[in-house]
Amino acid sequence: MRSKNGAGGRVSFIQAARRRQIIGAAIETVTAVGYGQSSLARIAEQAEISKSVISYHFANKDELLEQVVAQVMDDWAAFMRPFLEAESTATGRLSAYIRSRLAYMRDNQTRLVAVAEIIVNHRGPDGRPVFAERDAAPVAELVELLRSGQQAGEFRGFDPVVLAMTITQGIDGALTYWADHPGTDLTAYGEELVTLFGLATQQPRSIS
């Protein structure tokens, strides 16, 4: 970061607010014109500031867009955390995971459309996706949740990686479907997923 920090190396309140404004403008720009057309000049125009102000806070477009993804993903995880922590069983945590992930999606469509656009298109000098590791983090968290349910005897035997990927695709697919069908009720969509994956994980009933 190229910003001038205050005492103790901390970013001042004004600097932090400016960074949030720029990140917000980047989100709006990427959503409106796509990743390839989101130049610093366009982002500056959206924020109603000069391009030099962006350059003061971010080294380049790559750093700015990487911060967009980091902020949104961190906010998403922070939003979900209390819902997960309120549950004492793996079954409850799985339901809370699905519901809270979709609840954040419902209230942050623009942010998540921009993040999806950046994740798909943003690549490093070697041509590899920059966000491959970060994108895999939610899957790893879900794998751990499913394994804990198996170890506790709540869930049946299955490959937790396969099911975690299936759940993730089911949730992420909601954003694409919602973008094409704005009238979709994401709460109802989430309840269908809760029912579906509740059935997929539950122990088989013994036949007496």
pLDDT in tens, 156-206: 999 999 999 999 999 989 988 988 888 999 999 999 999 999 999 999 876
Q: What are the phi and psi torsion angles at 129 (to 5°)? A: -60, 130
pLDDT cut 90: percent of the chain above it: 70
Q: Which residue has the higher pLDDT, 6 or 86?
A: 86
Contact call for residues 84 and 59 (beta carbons, < 8 A):
no
Task: Give the DSSP letter of residue 36.
Answer: T
pLDDT in tens, 76-114: 999 999 999 999 999 999 999 999 999 999 999 889 989
Say how many residues make up the chain: 208
- What is d(CA 49, CA 148) in angstroms, rounded to the nearest whole number? 49
pLDDT at res. 32:
93
- What is the Cα 40 distance to its own chain's centre? 23
Phi-psi region of 33 (alpha: psi -120 to 50; beta: other; left: phi over 0): alpha
pLDDT at res. 8:
45
pLDDT in tens, 20-70: 999 999 999 999 999 999 999 999 999 999 999 999 999 999 999 999 999
pLDDT at res. 3:
43
- What is d(CA 69, CA 118) in angstroms, rounded to the nearest whole number? 8
Mean pLDDT for the chain overall = 89
pTM given for the model: 0.83
